[in-house]
Structure 1
């Protein structure tokens, strides 16, 4: 068997592909150190994940608490009125920009890209630093695109408001707020890019703190300016908060670009040996995020024709419901760089194992949160919001919407887990040997779903979400005339559940061969525990009229019942922590010293 020597001249690039990183070739080696996700999880790996999750959870919880305080002030100052409806239409801009530019699309694109650059940095320590060259090739174009998008959003604010909420009673206020919130596009995109790079480097503290800075900016303006600016103060606070969140990341990002060793310049003719940028790979990722966010557009559009305050009830309900998903999403935020690094190294088994663990752990957290919301929604909404302009009728409407929304929360969390590895298989930056005619050097690890079939599968998540939107629209149109906001919430839950089922199938087609009996069996055990916890927690939450005591009593009952049933049903995600807690509280007595094995 013979092997061809690599050519000194890189072959021509296919359409839509441009070179990024010329790197001197060498024999590929497995990623070393703690970044290597292959194999079973060692104690050091588990310790790293636990610390990363702890830091991320702590700062994210602080950000969520400040965000909840923000919503409480909105409810206190402005209630559920025409003014808050107008602001919430403008809030659609940062609501759409955040998943597109921070949490979802930007992370789906740049975490795998930086992970692959880091793998190549470890494999080929000579030549230009791949991470720095990736930044030079992508960041300037991103800044230009973000500036253009922010300007277009501000200029097109009247048309955008008309499109999103044609039945709005006060479109002028919505247009003003939309122009202010359009400024968030640039700092959101910068924060998403820098945060993705830092997570790929396994640095989680600064990215986890961005929402603390964001909500502090909103609260500062809202507290000082609500009397003078009215609800527009919330829009100004959003713009200020977005600048603060980008500023938090600049220093850590600059420090992360310093390579650990001196690199020599690559020799001429090595362009085909490194990485290439696939700009068209951005399209399915962006389309998926927008399609997923389109559920909010549908709610705002149909809700604008319902009585004033409906959009506000839906918004408050969504904010409370999403608290149940926060911890679940944090799991895949911390583990996503490990999955991306495994896929970059071609280790599909390690990626599969990590995804299966993430699916189980995310489901456990979101289902116990769902059970709590089902049992305690009225008392929780009363405790959080019922003061000032937010009255008992608003509490009842919001709590009812929360309970309907909750049916879709498990699917929301599972989609967040599944879509990350899906897009990591064929990232926006790839090895040259995968895309250049003739190979151009070492082929690297095998990749699933290559060629035209892989390009077609890139659009599978978009198709899954589009099918979910069809379900959402159908259920919403059928149920809204009779049930109002509850019909919109039911459409949301039905559509996202259908999309999750389709995406699970797509993950198998992508080449990540999940063991479905194991995954679905674990999900069924967790679901059974959650149903039991909700049924027993609801009466416990109605034992007293005091909303604080009701929430605490019902929540404690839900947690205890979920832990007990999850242990009895054999759900590993529940049984393991419960047994560890029992052993910590009741440690086994140490063996008596000086005894022989027979006890003498």
Structure 2
């Protein structure tokens, strides 16, 4: 049966999808706003709570549901649901699409509710599993467990939010889902500033902020689903053909798309055995490295998944391979200078953002070690984000899971080898090395299956990137000053100097690209 949107006038679709560059730009801008506010949030947390035992406990309590969110809601579920929903749009009437949405909403909600209740009851067990090093410090362990009971319902709320966002993304409504995380950051900033002074244990305010934010994010998206005509009317129906397909695809996708997140969680587990502050140092450096990853890598991946799914359903192999090639070039264009900047400006960036209040100069130096290690793998993290959809759009989850298991096993080995000489920085470096292994195997698999075919001009493009990034590195090395001067400067001076560095670096990089012949029109792909 072909798609019959005219059968339901409540559902409106654009006559044609916007260009990938434009859509990626929309998602990127919204994500940039979210990530900038995320950095402001982390600056506020650092100022109020530093990198002590309370901060370590909160980061664990927040990381557990946040990790499961990325693993499940934004990882396995999104990668399984979007291709199935795109297939239904292509091949079925709108009434069948609504039935699928209703069945998924009910079935997903029941599972999430059960998992949330079990996790809240077993919070100490989860804390012991994810941060076993805390068990030697009774107060820190108890605090983390208490906060986990408050933060874990965030998984239920944000997973339903991701479900709503996946529907909007499938209909090329990218802006609203990309903007939604802003509410999390604003709520947590408000909790730290206004709620923490009112609480007996101030750090607990952050846990309440997380749960409140989850509810706000979900209810924010519902009116937009209503305007699309696809507001879910939940119905538990595990026998629905679409639900069964999603469940089959989800099981292996849990590993295939989220290996990097599993590796980051393993870092936290092992860091809990290291000196106090290690969890926080990894958190601050990871947050900074995630800025370019989220703004560019995830933005492009978000846009190409429904696009690739529709091209696969339409059996358009040439357009499928051209889209993948476009995505890889796009992340290289932005990812390489971002990784270079994080490597060369680790201490200045961390000092500018976090060297306030309870954060010490030692915290900056220790976080910089892990930030440099993460920067070495930034490009790999971004490539994974755009290569994995090449499998999931074709509903092939077996290959990514095999690759994911290999990469995760390698990460464990690298962790054990590098943690002794490099401590927390060794954990970050192990994650980066395994990410490169993961990305390389994904690329090789796509090439073997014929889903990746290099488009003309790669040698010229690589040369252009080399020249532009060389110009950027030369400028940073020329303008940057010793770390001591950054630490001695006031917050306003650091912000001003960093602003000049970022503006000058961006100007030189893009000017160099123009001089060597790179043009925006080359990246316009519908």
TM-score range (shorter-chain normalised) is 0.7 to 0.9
Give the corresponding residue for 1:526.
Answer: 465
Give the corresponding residue for 1:76.
Answer: 47
1:378 corresponds to which of 328, 347, 356: 347
Aligned-partner Cα distance in 2 for 1:345–1:388: 56
Quote how far apart the aligned CAs of 1:351 are. 1.3
1:326 corresponds to which of 294, 297, 305: 294
Quote how far apart the aligned CAs of 1:532 are. 4.9
1:297 corresponds to which of 259, 265, 270: 265
Give the corresponding residue for 2:98.
Answer: 132
Contact 1:371–1:558 (Cα < 8 Å) also in 2:
no
1:142-157 aligned at under 5 Å gives the runs: 142-157=108-123
- Asked whether 1:106 is paired with 2:77, we answer yes
Give the corresponding residue for 1:244.
Answer: 216
- Asked whether 1:460 is paired with 2:399, we answer yes
1:187-202 aligned at under 5 Å gives the runs: 187-202=157-172
2:155 corresponds to which of 185, 189, 192: 185
Asked which structure has the greater CA Rg, the reply is 1
Give the corresponding residue for 2:249.
Answer: 281
Quote how far apart the aligned CAs of 1:559 are. 2.5
Q: Which moved more, 1:238-247 or 1:290-299?
A: 290-299
Q: Secondary structure at the match of 2:366?
A: helix
Contact 1:56–1:205 (Cα < 8 Å) also in 2:
yes
Contact 1:375–1:537 (Cα < 8 Å) also in 2:
yes
Quote how far apart the aligned CAs of 1:326 are. 2.3
2:505 corresponds to which of 550, 555, 558: 558
Quote how far apart the aligned CAs of 1:552 are. 2.9
Contact 1:109–1:282 (Cα < 8 Å) also in 2:
yes
1:465-480 aligned at under 5 Å gives the runs: 465-480=404-419
Give the corresponding residue for 1:421.
Answer: 390
1:31-430 aligned at under 5 Å gives the runs: 45-46=18-19, 49-121=20-92, 129-168=95-134, 169=137, 170-227=140-197, 228=199, 229-257=201-229, 277-278=244-245, 279-328=247-296, 329-426=298-395
Aligned residues: 493
Question: Structure 1 length as normaliser, TM-score?
Answer: 0.76
Give the corresponding residue for 2:237.
Answer: none
The 1:60/1:283 distance shift into structure 2, 3 A limit, reads same
Deviations 1:138-174 (Å, cap 9, x if unpaired)? 2211111111111122122111111112112311111
Aligned-partner Cα distance in 2 for 1:383–1:361: 28
Aligned-partner Cα distance in 2 for 1:82–1:167: 12
Give structure 2 stretches of 5+ with no counterpart: 5-12, 232-239, 487-492
Aligned-partner Cα distance in 2 for 1:498–1:467: 9
Quote how far apart the aligned CAs of 1:78 are. 0.9
Question: Structure 2 length as normaliser, TM-score?
Answer: 0.86
Give structure 1 stretches of 5+ with no counterpart: 1-22, 27-32, 38-44, 260-271, 427-456, 581-600
Aligned-partner Cα distance in 2 for 1:156–1:521: 56
Deviations 1:542-590 (Å, cap 9, x if unpaired)? 18744234423432443244335545666xxxx113999xxxxxxxxxx
Q: CA RMSD in A?
A: 2.9
Quote how far apart the aligned CAs of 1:500 are. 0.5
Contact 2:471–2:512 (Cα < 8 Å) also in 1:
yes
Aligned-partner Cα distance in 1 for 2:419–2:473: 26
The 1:204/1:101 distance shift into structure 2, 3 A limit, reads same
After superposing on structure 2, the runs of 4+ consecutive aligned residues of structure 1 that deviate more than 6 Å are 33-37
1:537 corresponds to which of 476, 479, 488: 476
Quote how far apart the aligned CAs of 1:498 are. 0.8
Contact 1:356–1:519 (Cα < 8 Å) also in 2:
no
Aligned-partner Cα distance in 2 for 1:560–1:579: 19
- Structure number having the greater helix percentage: 2
Aligned-partner Cα distance in 1 for 2:244–2:54: 45
Quote how far apart the aligned CAs of 1:404 are. 1.6
